[in-house]
Amino acid sequence: KQEVTQIPAALSVPEGENLVLNCSFTDSAIYNLQWFRQDPGKGLTSLLLIQSSQREQTSGRLNASLDKSSGRSTLYIAASQPGDSATYLCAVDPQGGSEKLVFGKGTKLTVNP
Amino acid sequence: DAGVIQSPRHEVTEMGQEVTLRCKPISGHNSLFWYRQTMMRGLELLIYFNNNVPIDDSGMPEDRFSAKMPNASFSTLKIQPSEPRDSAVYFCASSTGQGGQYFGPGTRLTVT
């Protein structure tokens, strides 16, 4: 059974810092991996989708990498801002086309001005 | 596009009452997902539909939960009878099937 772990559960950094959020999964046979952002009381916003054949994806100040063989993904946030404060979740699609995403419990990020 | 629309946004009900949550997926998306989020268990997939047909309902906790998708633009998740342990945020998401799910704002359900 696929399990997704995100460490740390919470992270607090000063504004301007570059930071890395970690995601690990137990079964390397994944179809894709997706990073989401969730603001308090809101739904999930998709940030980046990495297909299993890809190594990384970039969007603005965000860069996500994927190492299937080691069961790891990282989300790199450059020059963090207070507006980046949110919970970040990663999710894997363990079966091609099924889209039955398995989610980690998230990392709650606080960027202090 | 308006995105995935869910209603109501908040629902407070008494134990034993029937609860119906509603979802309108993004137009053109052919897959629809219902999730439940709690502090203890995180996000869990309850059921998903493809082309209006239920594909996998293995995440539905028990017979008190049922979901329907009568057409491509509407789905419901019903709980009857509701119990306090059903209190959670329920999300609906949709996708084109090519990867990437888009979530609605969620319905916060409180059962007293």
Residue B40's closest chain A neighbor by CA?
A105
In chain B, residues with a C-beta closer than 8 Å to the C-beta of A31 are: 99
For B98-112, write each residue's pLDDT tens digit: 768 899 999 999 999
Does the beta-carbon distance from B95 to A99 stay under 8 Å? Answer: yes
Under DSSP, the state recorded for B25 is P
Q: Does B42 touch chain A (CB under 8 A)?
A: yes
CB-CB neighbors (< 8 A) of A98 in chain B: 55-56
Q: Do A89 and B91 touch (CB under 8 A)?
A: no
Partner-chain contact B48 A46, CB within 8 Å: no
Q: From CA A102, how far away is CA A111, in angstroms rounded?
A: 27
**Residue A89 confidence (pLDDT):** 97
Nearest-angstrom CA–CA distance, B68 and B46: 12
State the burial class of residue A41 (Cβ atoms within 10 Å of its Cβ: 0-12, 13-18, 19+): exposed
One digit per residue, the tens of pLDDT, for chain B of length 112 reads: 679 999 999 999 999 999 999 999 999 999 999 999 998 888 999 999 999 999 999 999 889 999 999 999 999 999 999 999 999 999 999 998 776 889 999 999 999 9
Query: How many whole angstroms separate alpha carbon B96 and alpha carbon A63?
Result: 24
Q: Are the CB atoms for A23 and A71 separated by under 8 Å?
A: no
Cross-chain residue pair A43–B104, CB shorter than 8 Å: yes
Closest C-alpha among B37, B31, B72 to residue B55: B31
Predicted confidence at residue A61, as pLDDT, reads 97
Residue A41: per-residue pLDDT? 83
Distance separating alpha carbons of residues A49 and A90, to the nearest angstrom: 10
Distance CA B109, CA B15 (A): 12
**What is chain A's pLDDT, residue by residue, as a tens digit (113 residues)?**
899 999 999 999 999 999 999 999 999 889 899 999 999 888 899 999 999 999 999 999 999 999 999 999 999 999 999 999 999 999 998 876 667 889 999 999 999 99
- Identify which of B31, B42, B104 has the shortest CB distance to residue A103: B42
The pLDDT value given to residue B101: 87
Contact: B4, A45; criterion CB under 8 Å: no
User: What pLDDT was estimated at residue A4?
Assistant: 95
